[in-house]
């Protein structure tokens, strides 16, 4: 899109442009990443959800060269708009771009088609595996996320005990290098858990509880050994033998790379956190189904929790049927830094509604918003540049006609990533247009 | 004394009280007279008649007389039993004594693609139907096991080959150590059945509903077989021969009792049903079957709850099950249900006796206990003329005890089988428990047991007393009528007698309870067109390309907590569907979420029947299976339907001919119902080519498609669907989970709706069903469907496609009081269902739920305390292990029999 010539947009021109976009039928391949911001832009009159808990009812937001340069209350300030693009957003709402943590977005296209799956490498300990290089910017999925306000994601490998390192990307890019916001932000460890011996089928049925336990013990031992050796390796200036696995773990110990550990049961959470502490690491807990039962321990250790999707069934029959909805709120209200996530990749477009659910079941709305913006940016190590609408941060946000945490209000009209006004078209909109037009023409 | 006893034993081993007529003897014959007079004993002739100071005369194998004042004839060995008791020895109607247990397929759960029997010879098509099995030919006495059983007081048992769905005949034998020729009491004691296909190599059936269908079909096949001359079939021939003897069904669990009994009733049979001891959970329903039961006393051990973290994994139902199990026999007795006790399932016979004593502590009368171990089981297996009581002419099968049987310190001293004397040696105090000492050990005085209430259903969130239907006036709400009145502001809804009485402003309450609903929204209950909750034993019978014969109605599971969870999301009606593993799936069942009611009471009632069809990747097994089952392409899928309907038409025509002997075919019956517009299709579908294909097949073969479910590319063929009057029930926004959803779009619902198709959003998922209102909200996000229409996607529109919109789906006077009160606009993420009424009963109430959880917590704490007390007293415990309830969707494939085998395996390893 060529945005030149629209420098003095008022609400009406803006609306016109949007509908002009709507009439043109693109193919997915033609949804190009936007060029750099070429003009200072001012958004006027919107309700600004800052992302840190604050709200400005009638706000202004100025951004230039991809960065936010001004945020404040529009009722008390007068501007000189000359040389700026003005977006009149009266009655609309502005949100920081939502961030999807722990997702295999861009590493999978169709769940059942093996050739399209690139998120789970074989092997138990894969710290040297990097998700970023497999992140497919041409996937049809990210565009469907952007149109609901999800603008960034932590692309995360799965499988094994150590799955590898994730990277944080923004969702409007030509290739993975362009996309990267933070490379190798975290290592991902699946805490070894003895599977519940239950009436089941397949290989598990034939294995005794004792044997399962023994296997877990063995993996735990190997894990410990790996960390011990990796730490020693990190301290060695010139290792005698180069080991890519150990080398990949180096920055876990100097804090430059985070350690995300998936664990759900109380005992596993305790063990996982104590394990990390032993190596001087403050981990991020992922999952944490039973985390709500051990809040003091988590606070004591300054643990952030990435809560699994609130839209889930209770873990056990006796649990409060609405516990998964309440879980994140219970933790956040207790003062824990909570990040809300959702499983999968195509599902990420529902991330806003996960936060909405958390808000419905006990957490303040703006705090719920934080669980998919600023809190997430913090655990991903990108809070200096993203996560909230604050001066100096990336101009990565969107304008919605209504409450973006609610499907009834989420209407993303315009979105910016680092100041670039991105194309909100996607495969689904295109197919909608194609077939709606067919039936409309048949009616005539 | 000991020496003498030992010698006696030796003598007995070498001699016989009766001759073996046909067998030669190596050496001299040593046939004894076997005439004994047992005098001065207390003779318990049967549970109702006791003779004090009596005499029992025995000659050979038989009792000559039992009574007082009988003079002992000459030539009788006199045994003075002063102070001792004589009881008929016990009968166990359900054992696998003396028979090799079949090697069950341990199985990987993988289908083998074995479609018909691998058994050589003129047998039936399915190996799970093996009525040709005759235990009398397989039985091989097991001296060690016989000795154990005799020491526990048993004299005769029924021997069952526990393999297959139709298992053939069992044999009743005594526990004498004689040759099998002499111990056989009834070589055809019963015909036996189960839901477990056992060692069968065949894929079919994979599910409980498949087992049921196969057995029903077998009855019809056997009826047909008896009237035809073209086919010789040993299995069916034997099946027919077994119909006049007793019929025993191993069912396990009260729900399966109901299922087995229903099959029996269909074919004029009253099964004796072997169950698992959970009958107390629905005693009334069990009683109403009229079936006699065989039940174990293998009570679950207490869980070791010292570790509070581990204790969390034990559900309330498991804990309550532990507490209630010992009361089960007593509850059965009080309910007047005829039942026998079996040792089956007890880890050992010592446990059997320990638990039996516990059952008596919990209120089982001694008289009933005796009846349930003598006359009742003897009658069940057709040997009551020979054993079970001490009357003239019956076999001399009895035990001699040191005291009244159930008294403390009473020992079983002798066990006579067919007149042959077996003596229990008392081990000198070695500290090791014997059956006798276990018997004696229960020295504590009996005290009344305090038990928690039975809750319905027997799981978390069940209630002790049924929830009541009330007259309720919901005041001053935003009312989404789904009728021409649209959305009413500040309106009232009056519920009475399970129906909506009136809707309007300022309605007078009359006697109704008033609920202030100011600021709330009221809608009709949510209807899920595509659900797999509340189903037992598998949702897919996918071993064949058509399984039209299986019925979800047979396997509705009232105990699924997902019913309660979904009420919490405003769901009131669910359409329970077969899965999508094959083109022609099974018959579906519509239920209302009447939490706490029995499976039968959950059924919607009076509605049209539906059947599941499926297209696409699942039916062609793109992502599972061996690829050997037809079809594996969408081309083959077409021919599956063509063949099925072609055959059904021929079948229908053949049935119309006079004096036909057409084999009743349950599969084709269902298809004929479709052709006759008596059963309706909901077809799982994805891509446009296949959707178009089925429309054409339907046109050419003369049937209608009611609904395309999932229908993710409905938006591409909406005009064709509209032209055929086909409904669309889809997902709001699912895609990318497999190849055939590459072009699934969230605007699908909107486009179909705009074209004029009755459109719904369904769940196919126990989780998503809890928030279908929000899924409807997504229709406003993707495509700006007006809010009023969007709500209809999950209420009125599914009601229309299920042909129940005359009763549910909108708020209108006269319709069922299936109503939800929401805290907010129901299409919003912030809306919570605060109350969900079904038939005017508030099965979900967000405030009551909070109270239930509180009560549940204290009940859990009570039970944990009780278990700990028990452990302190020395009771055995087991490690906490959570039950893992199954959650199904369309694609869930599992094997019901494997599950049963696994349960049995883990249970015995506890």
Domains of chain B: 526-808 (3.20.20.140)
Q: What is the ipTM of this complex?
A: 0.93
Residue A110 is nearest to which of B564, B719, B738, comparing CB atoms?
B738
Contact with chain B for residue A311, Cβ under 8 A: yes
In this predicted model, what pLDDT tens digit does every residue of A61-81 receive, in sequence order?
Answer: 999 999 999 999 999 888 888
* Cβ(A121)–Cβ(A160) below 8 Å: yes
What phi and psi, each to the nearest 5 degrees, are found at residue A396?
-115, 100
Q: What is the SS3 assignment for B315?
A: coil
**How far apart (Å, rounded) are the C-alpha atoms in residues A120 and A158?**
5
The DSSP symbol for B396 reads: -
How much is the pLDDT for B104?
65
* Chain B residue nearest residue A315, CA to CA: B313
* Contact flag B902-A408 (C-beta cutoff 8 Å): no
The yes-or-no answer to whether A11-96+423-443 and A98-386 have a common fold is: no
Contacts with B288 (C-beta within 8 Å, 6 or more apart), sequence order: none
- B contacts of A357 (beta carbons < 8 Å): 829
Contact with chain A for residue B742, Cβ under 8 A: yes
Residue B185 tokens read as 């009491």
Is residue A2's pLDDT more than 50?
no
Question: Going by DSSP bridges, is the β-strand pair B571-576/B727-730 parallel, antiparallel, or unpaired?
Answer: unpaired
Write the Ramachandran bin of A419: left for phi over 0, alpha for psi from -120 to 50, otherwise beta.
left
Contact with chain B for residue A431, Cβ under 8 A: yes
User: Residue B308 class from Cβ within 10 Å (0-12 exposed, 13-18 middle, 19+ buried)?
Assistant: exposed
In this predicted model, what pLDDT tens digit does every residue of A176-196 receive, in sequence order?
Answer: 999 999 999 999 999 999 876
Contacts 24+ apart (CB under 8 A), B630-633: B630/B545, B631/B545, B631/B583
* Contact flag B830-A406 (C-beta cutoff 8 Å): yes
- A contacts of B884 (beta carbons < 8 Å): 196, 198-200
Interface of A with B in 179-198 (CB under 8 A): 196-198
**How far apart (Å, rounded) are the C-alpha atoms in residues A296 and A281?**
19
Helix (H) or strand (E) holding A101: strand A98-103
B171 forms beta bridges with B159
* Contact flag A427-B745 (C-beta cutoff 8 Å): yes
Ranges of chain B with pLDDT below 50:
1-14, 108, 428-434, 440-443, 907-910
Looking at CA atoms only, how far is residue B422 from chain A in angstroms? 41
**How far apart (Å, rounded) are the C-alpha atoms in residues B729 and B772?**
12
**Among the listed residues A299, A59, A343, the one whose alpha carbon sits nearest the alpha carbon of residue B767:** A343
* Cβ(A420)–Cβ(A383) below 8 Å: no
Contact with chain B for residue A141, Cβ under 8 A: yes
Residue B444 tokens read as 């504590």
Task: Please give the torsion angle defined by the CA atoms of residues B108, B113, B115 and B116, in that order, rounded to the nearest 10 degrees.
Answer: -70
Helix (H) or strand (E) holding B565: helix B561-567
Contact with chain A for residue B887, Cβ under 8 A: yes
Q: Supply angle C-alpha B10, B390, B362, rounded to 5.
A: 100
Q: What is the SS3 assignment for B759?
A: strand
User: Residue B820 class from Cβ within 10 Å (0-12 exposed, 13-18 middle, 19+ buried)?
Assistant: buried
**How far apart (Å, rounded) are the C-alpha atoms in residues B565 and B461?**
10
Q: What DSSP string describes B635-704?
A: HHHHHHHHHHHHHHHHHHHHHHSTT--PPP-HHHHHHHHHHTTSEEEEEE--SHHHHHHHHHHHHHHT--
Q: Supply angle C-alpha A151, A371, A248, rounded to 5.
A: 70
In this predicted model, what pLDDT tens digit does every residue of A345-387 receive, in sequence order?
Answer: 999 999 999 999 999 999 999 999 999 999 999 999 999 999 9
**How far apart (Å, rounded) are the C-alpha atoms in residues A22 and A425?**
8
Question: Going by DSSP bridges, is the β-strand pair A98-103/A150-155 parallel, antiparallel, or unpaired?
Answer: parallel
Burial B320-356 (b: 16+ CB within 10 A, else e): bbbbbbbbbbbbbbeeebbbbbbbbbbeebbbbbbbb
Q: Structural domain boundaries of chain A? A: 11-96+423-443, 98-386
**How far apart (Å, rounded) are the C-alpha atoms in residues B494 and B501?**
5
In this predicted model, what pLDDT tens digit does every residue of A229-264 receive, in sequence order?
Answer: 999 999 999 999 999 999 999 999 999 999 999 999
* Cβ(A27)–Cβ(A140) below 8 Å: no
* Chain A residue nearest residue B825, CA to CA: A408
Q: Which of B105, B318, B761, B830 to mutate to test the interface with A (most CBs of A within 10 A)?
A: B830
B513 forms beta bridges with B472
- B contacts of A349 (beta carbons < 8 Å): 733
Q: What DSSP string describes A295-329?
A: HHHHHHTT-EEEEPPSSS--SSTTS-TTHHHHHHH
Fold of A11-96+423-443: Urease, subunit C; domain 1 (2.30.40)
Integer Rg of chain A from CA? 23
* Chain B residue nearest residue A355, CA to CA: B829
Would you give the end-to-end CA distance of chain B in angstroms?
41
The DSSP symbol for A111 reads: T
**How far apart (Å, rounded) are the C-alpha atoms in residues B487 and B510?**
25
User: Residue A337 class from Cβ within 10 Å (0-12 exposed, 13-18 middle, 19+ buried)?
Assistant: buried
**How far apart (Å, rounded) are the C-alpha atoms in residues A183 and B855?**
51
**How far apart (Å, rounded) are the C-alpha atoms in residues B648 and B702?**
12
In this predicted model, what pLDDT tens digit does every residue of A120-169 receive, in sequence order?
Answer: 999 999 999 999 999 999 999 999 999 999 999 999 999 999 999 999 99
How much is the pLDDT for B20?
61
Integer Rg of chain B from CA? 32
Fold of A98-386: TIM Barrel (3.20.20)
Interface of B with A in 517-576 (CB under 8 A): 561-562, 564-565, 568
Contact with chain B for residue A204, Cβ under 8 A: no
Please give the C-alpha separations between residue A65 and each of A35, A137, B322, B814, in angstroms, as whole numbers. Answer: 11, 23, 69, 65
What phi and psi, each to the nearest 5 degrees, are found at residue B589?
-140, 130
DSSP H stretches of helix in A281-426? 295-300, 323-333, 351-360, 365-370, 374-380
* Cβ(B896)–Cβ(B537) below 8 Å: yes
Q: Supply angle C-alpha B108, B112, B116, rounded to 5.
A: 135
Q: Does the N-terminal peptide bond of residue B699 adopt cis geometry, omega within 30 degrees of 0?
A: no
Residue B401 tokens read as 């005890």
**How far apart (Å, rounded) are the C-alpha atoms in residues B295 and B248?**
12
Count the Cβ atoms, other than its own, within 10 Å of residue B854.
10
Question: Going by DSSP bridges, is the β-strand pair B472-480/B487-496 parallel, antiparallel, or unpaired?
Answer: antiparallel
The DSSP symbol for B16 reads: B
How much is the pLDDT for B885?
65
Count the Cβ atoms, other than its own, within 10 Å of residue B861.
10
Q: What is the SS3 assignment for A245?
A: helix
Q: Which residue has the tokens 């920055």?
A: A251
CB contacts < 8 A (A, B): 163
In this predicted model, what pLDDT tens digit does every residue of B197-235 receive, in sequence order?
Answer: 999 999 999 999 999 999 999 999 999 999 999 999 999
Task: Give A10's pLDDT tier (boundaries 50, 70, 90).
Answer: very low
**How far apart (Å, rounded) are the C-alpha atoms in residues B372 and B352?**
14
Looking at CA atoms only, how far is residue A266 from chain B in angstroms? 7
* Contact flag B782-A206 (C-beta cutoff 8 Å): no
Contacts with A305 (C-beta within 8 Å, 6 or more apart), sequence order: A284, A285, A286, A288, A291, A298, A331, A336, A337, A338, A339
* Cβ(B560)–Cβ(B769) below 8 Å: no
Q: What is the SS3 assignment for B473?
A: strand
**How far apart (Å, rounded) are the C-alpha atoms in residues A109 and A136?**
9
- B contacts of A200 (beta carbons < 8 Å): 884, 902
Contacts with B497 (C-beta within 8 Å, 6 or more apart), sequence order: B469, B471, B840
């Amino acid at each position: 899109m060529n945005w030149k010539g629209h420098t003095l947009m008022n609400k009406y021109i803006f609306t016109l442009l949007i509908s002009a976009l709507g009439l043109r039928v693109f193919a997915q391949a033609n949804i190009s990443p936007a060029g750099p911001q070429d003009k200072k832009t001012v958004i006027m009159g919107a309700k600004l959800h800052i992302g840190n808990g604050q709200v400005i009812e009638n706000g202004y937001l100025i951004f230039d060269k991809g960065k936010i340069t001004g945020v404040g209350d529009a009722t008390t300030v007068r501007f000189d708009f000359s040389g700026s693009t003005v977006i009149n957003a009266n009655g609309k709402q502005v949100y920081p771009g939502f961030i999807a943590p722990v997702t295999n977005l861009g590493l999978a296209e169709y769940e059942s088609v093996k050739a399209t799956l690139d998120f789970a490498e074989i092997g138990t300990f894969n710290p040297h595996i990097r998700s970023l290089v497999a992140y497919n910017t041409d996937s049809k999925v990210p565009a469907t996320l952007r149109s609901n306000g999800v603008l960034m994601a932590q692309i995360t490998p799965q499988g094994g005990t150590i799955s590898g390192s994730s990277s944080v990307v923004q969702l409007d890019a030509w290739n993975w290098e362009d996309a990267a916001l933070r490379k190798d932000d975290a290592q991902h460890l699946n805490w070894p858990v003895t599977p519940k011996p239950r009436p089941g089928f397949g290989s598990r049925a034939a294995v005794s509880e004792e044997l399962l336990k023994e296997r877990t013990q063995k993996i735990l031992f190997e894990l410990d050994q790996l960390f011990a050796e990796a730490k020693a390796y990190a301290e060695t200036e010139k290792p005698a033998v180069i080991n890519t696995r150990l080398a990949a773990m180096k920055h876990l110990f100097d804090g430059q790379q985070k350690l995300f550990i998936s664990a759900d049961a109380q005992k596993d959470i305790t063990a996982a956190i104590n394990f990390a502490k032993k190596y001087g690491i403050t981990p991020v807990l992922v999952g944490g189904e039973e985390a709500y039962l051990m809040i003091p321990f988590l606070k004591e250790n300054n643990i952030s929790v990435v809560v699994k999707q609130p839209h889930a069934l209770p873990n056990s029959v006796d649990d409060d049927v609405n516990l998964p909805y309440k879980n994140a709120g219970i933790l956040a209200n207790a003062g824990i830094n909570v990040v809300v996530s959702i499983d999968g990749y195509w599902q990420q477009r529902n991330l806003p509604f996960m936060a909405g659910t958390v808000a419905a079941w006990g957490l303040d709305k703006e705090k719920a918003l934080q669980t998919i913006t600023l809190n997430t940016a913090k655990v991903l190590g990108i809070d200096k540049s993203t996560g909230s609408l604050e001066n100096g941060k990336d101009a990565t946000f969107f304008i919605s006609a209504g409450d973006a945490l609610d499907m009834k209000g989420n209407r993303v009209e315009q979105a910016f990533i680092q100041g670039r006004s991105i194309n909100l078209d996607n495969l689904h909109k295109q197919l909608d247009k194609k077939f709606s037009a067919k039936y409309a023409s048949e009616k005539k | 004394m000991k020496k003498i006893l030992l010698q006696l034993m030796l003598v007995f081993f070498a001699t016989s009280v009766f001759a073996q007529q046909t067998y030669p003897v190596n050496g001299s014959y040593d046939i004894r007279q076997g005439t004994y007079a047992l005098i001065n004993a207390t003779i318990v002739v049967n549970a109702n008649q006791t003779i004090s100071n009596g005499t029992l005369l025995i000659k050979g194998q038989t009792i000559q007389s039992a009574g007082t004042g009988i003079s002992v004839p000459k030539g009788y060995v006199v045994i003075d039993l002063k102070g001792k008791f004589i009881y008929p020895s016990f009968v166990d109607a359900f054992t696998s004594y003396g028979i090799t247990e079949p090697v069950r397929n341990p199985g990987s759960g993988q289908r083998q693609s074995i479609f018909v029997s691998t058994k050589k010879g003129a047998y039936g098509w399915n190996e799970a139907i093996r009525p040709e099995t005759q235990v009398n030919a397989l039985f091989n006495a097991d001296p060690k096991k016989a000795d154990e059983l005799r020491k526990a007081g048993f004299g005769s048992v029924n021997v069952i080959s526990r393999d297959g769905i139709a298992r053939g005949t069992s044999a009743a034998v005594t526990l004498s150590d004689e040759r099998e020729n002499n111990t056989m009491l009834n070589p055809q004691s019963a015909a036996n059945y189960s839901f477990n296909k056992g060692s069968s190599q065949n894929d079919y059936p994979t599910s409980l509903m498949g087992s049921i269908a196969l057995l029903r079909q077998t009855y019809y096949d056997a009826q047909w077989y008896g009237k035809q001359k073209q086919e010789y079939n040993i299995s069916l021939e034997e099946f027919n021969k077994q119909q006049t003897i007793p019929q025993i069904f191993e069912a396990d669990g009260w729900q399966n009792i109901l299922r087995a009994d229903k099959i029996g009733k269909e074919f004029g049979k009253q099964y004796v049903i072997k169950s698992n001891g959970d009958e107390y959970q629905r005693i009334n329903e069990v009683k109403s079957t009229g079936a006699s039961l065989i039940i174990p006393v293998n009570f679950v051990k207490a869980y070791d709850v010292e570790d509070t973290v581990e204790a969390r994994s034990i559900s309330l139902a498991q804990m309550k099950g532990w507490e209630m199990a010992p009361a089960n026999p007593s509850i059965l007795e009080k309910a007047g249900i005829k039942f026998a006790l079996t040792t089956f399932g007890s880890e050992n016979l010592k446990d059997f006796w320990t638990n039996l004593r516990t059952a008596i502590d919990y209120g089982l009368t001694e008289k009933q206990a005796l009846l349930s171990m003598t006359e009742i089981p003897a009658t069940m297996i057709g040997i009551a003329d020979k054993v079970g009581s001490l009357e003239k002419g019956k076999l001399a099968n009895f035990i001699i005890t040191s005291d009244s049987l159930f008294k403390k310190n009473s020992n079983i001293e002798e066990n006579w089988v067919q007149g042959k004397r077996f003596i229990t040696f008392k081990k000198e105090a070695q500290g090791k428990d014997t059956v006798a000492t276990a018997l004696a050990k229960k020295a504590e005085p009996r005290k009344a047991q305090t038990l928690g209430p039975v809750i319905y259903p027997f799981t978390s969130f069940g209630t002790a007393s049924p929830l009541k239907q009330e007259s309720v006036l919901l005041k001053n709400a935003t009312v989404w009528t789904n009728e021409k009145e649209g959305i009413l502001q500040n309106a009232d809804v009056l519920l009475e007698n399970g129906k909506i009485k009136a809707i309007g402003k300022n309605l007078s309450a009359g006697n109704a309870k008033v609920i202030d609903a100011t600021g709330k929204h009221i809608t009709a209950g949510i209807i899920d067109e595509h659900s797999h909750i509340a189903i037992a034993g598998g949702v897919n019978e996918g071993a064949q390309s058509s399984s039209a014969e299986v019925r979800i109605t047979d396997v509705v599971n009232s105990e699924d907590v997902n019913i309660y969870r979904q009420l919490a999301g405003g769901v009131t009606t669910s359409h329970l569907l077969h899965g999508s593993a094959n083109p022609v799936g099974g018959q579906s069942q519509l239920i209302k979420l009447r939490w706490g009611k029995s499976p039968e009471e959950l059924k919607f009632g009076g509605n049209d029947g539906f059947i599941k069809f499926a297209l696409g990747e699942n039916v062609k097994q793109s992502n599972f299976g061996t690829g050997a089952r037809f079809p594996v392409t969408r081309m083959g899928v077409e021919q599956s339907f063509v063949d099925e309907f072609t055959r059904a038409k021929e079948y229908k025509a053949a049935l119309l001919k006079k004096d036909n002997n057409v084999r009743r075919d349950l599969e084709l019956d269902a298809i004929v119902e479709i052709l006759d517009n008596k059963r309706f299709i909901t077809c799982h579908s994805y891509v446009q080519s296949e959707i178009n294909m089925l429309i054409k097949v339907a046109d050419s073969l003369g049937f209608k498609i009611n609904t395309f479910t999932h229908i993710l590319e409905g938006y591409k063929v909406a005009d064709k669907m509209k032209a055929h009057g086909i409904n669309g029930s889809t997902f709001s926004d699912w895609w990318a989970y497999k190849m055939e959803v590459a072009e699934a779009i969230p605007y699908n619902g909107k486009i179909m709706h705009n074209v004029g198709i009755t459109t719904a959003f369904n769940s196919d998922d126990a989780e998503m069903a809890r928030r279908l209102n929000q899924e409807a909200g997504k229709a406003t996000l993707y495509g700006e469907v007006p809010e009023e229409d969007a709500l209809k996607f999950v209420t009125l529109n599914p009601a229309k496609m299920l042909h129940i919109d005359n009763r549910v789906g909108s708020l209108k006077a006269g319709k069922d009081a299936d109503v939800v009160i929401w805290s907010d606009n129901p299409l919003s993420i912030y809306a919570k269902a605060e109350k969900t009424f079904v038939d005017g009963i508030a099965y979900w109430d967000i405030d009551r739920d909070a109270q239930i959880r509180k009560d549940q917590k204290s009940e859990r704490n009570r039970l944990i305390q009780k278990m700990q007390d028990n452990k302190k007293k020395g009771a055995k415990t087991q490690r906490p292990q959570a039950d893992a309830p199954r959650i199904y969707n369309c694609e869930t494939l599992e094997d019901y029999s494997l599950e049963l085998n696994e349960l049995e395996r883990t249970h015995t390893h506890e």
